[in-house]
Amino acid sequence: MRKQIAAANWKMNLSLLQAEELVKALLETDLLLNEKQLAIFGVPFPYILPVKQLLNGKKNVFVTAQNCSANKNGAYTGETSAEMLESIGLKYVIIGHSERREYHHENNAELAQKVNIAMDHHLQPIFCCGESLPIREAGTQNSYVEIQLKESLFHLSADQIRNFIIAYEPIWAIGTGKTASSEQAQEMHAFIRSVMAAQYGQEIADTISILYGGSVKGANAVEIFGQPDVDGGLVGGASLVATEFAAIINSLKK
Ligand code: PEP
């Protein structure tokens, strides 16, 4: 079975003390991860090392950055490179979150560069895609998401795409409390897998973990994650509450 993943996206929230308390509270709950299940914490840059330290030695639990620069190094004030993230021992990085696309104008071509530079530095991207409400209402979400995948990922080789991680996050469901129904999630996840299969073959497409993001919480995670093409979630708001995120982790497919 491909990897089942609960990924937290803390965004720009919490003080260091609150972050440490959240992680400690989570570690006090029973996190039941088998060898195919991962928990990944997407934390703000200043907390990567302290959180990593707290999680040290926990099997299948990782820390990730929420972004990296498309550039290698140099005069890019305020940016953080993939090389830096590799140098502190990270294995994952979130790329192309809809908030980066909207507020920082990241487009598919720039995201392709970020994917490349991350992979050059042995970071597995958690690549986000997903449509806005007007696109969903117009019924053109499939072609919109297909273009996001084509323009940012299709230059990769089959070897690079094996075990890749894609997060489908309908923008209309992020932070709104409005979750896509489990049928809507399954429909889009199956479509994404079919797009990847058409390009790379079914065997490779079946290794890709496709996470759902958009108002996932403890109460709806079992139903959403139970869909055949949903391999876990990328979770914002509910990842800031220890008991909620613990319930989400424990809802991953066994
Ligand atoms: C997200 O930011 O990736 C997200 C899915 O947020 P929320 O769970 O709060 O909708």
- By C-alpha distance, which of 191, 192, 125, 202 is closest to 156? 125
User: What distance in angstroms lies between residue 22's CA and the mean position of ligand 1's atoms?
Assistant: 17
Whether the per-residue pLDDT at 175 is higher than 90: the answer is no
DSSP run (H or E) holding 5 = strand 4-9
* Catalytic residue numbers, as ranges: 97, 169
- pLDDT tens-digit series, residues 35-68: 999 999 999 999 999 999 999 989 999 999 999 9
User: What distance in angstroms lies between residue 53's CA and the mean position of ligand 1's atoms?
Assistant: 25
Q: How confident is the model at residue 178 (pLDDT cuts 50, 70, 90)?
A: confident
Q: What is the mean pLDDT of residues 138-166?
A: 98
For ligand 1, whether the C-beta of 174 sits within 6 Å is yes
Q: Which domains can be identified in the chain, with CATH numbers?
A: 4-249 (3.20.20.70)
Q: How confident is the model at residue 179 (pLDDT cuts 50, 70, 90)?
A: confident
User: What distance in angstroms lies between residue 173's CA and the mean position of ligand 1's atoms?
Assistant: 8
Higher pLDDT, 32 or 192: 192
**Closest ligand 1 atom to the C-alpha of 216?**
8
Write down the pLDDT at residue 53. Answer: 97
For residue 220, the number of C-alpha atoms closer than 13 Å in the C-beta half-sphere is: 19
Three-state SS at 124? strand
User: What distance in angstroms lies between residue 250's CA and the mean position of ligand 1's atoms?
Assistant: 18
Q: How confident is the model at residue 69 (pLDDT cuts 50, 70, 90)?
A: very high
Q: How confident is the model at residue 31 (pLDDT cuts 50, 70, 90)?
A: confident
Q: What is the mean pLDDT of residues 210-234?
A: 97
For ligand 1, whether the C-beta of 129 sits within 6 Å is no
For ligand 1, whether the C-beta of 126 sits within 6 Å is no
Q: Which residues of 185-224 are buried (b: 16+ CB within 10 A; e: fewer)?
A: bbbbbebbbebbeebbeeebbeebbbbbbbbbbbebbeeb
For ligand 1, whether the C-beta of 234 sits within 6 Å is yes
Q: How confident is the model at residue 1 (pLDDT cuts 50, 70, 90)?
A: confident
**Closest ligand 1 atom to the C-alpha of 239?**
8
- pLDDT tens-digit series, residues 185-216: 999 999 999 999 999 999 999 999 999 999 99
* CA pair distance 12, 66, nearest whole angstrom: 10
Q: Which residues of 10-33 are buried (b: 16+ CB within 10 A; e: fewer)?
A: bbeebeeeebbebbeebeeeebeb
Take atom 4 of ligand 1 and give the residue whose Cα is closest: 236
pTM of the entire predicted model? 0.97
For ligand 1, whether the C-beta of 215 sits within 6 Å is yes
* CA pair distance 134, 139, nearest whole angstrom: 9
Supply the mean pLDDT for the chain: 97
- pLDDT tens-digit series, residues 87-128: 999 999 999 999 999 999 999 999 999 999 999 999 999 999
State percent of the chain over pLDDT 70.
Answer: 100
- Find the angle CA(52)-CA(127)-CA(82) to the nearest 5 degrees: 50
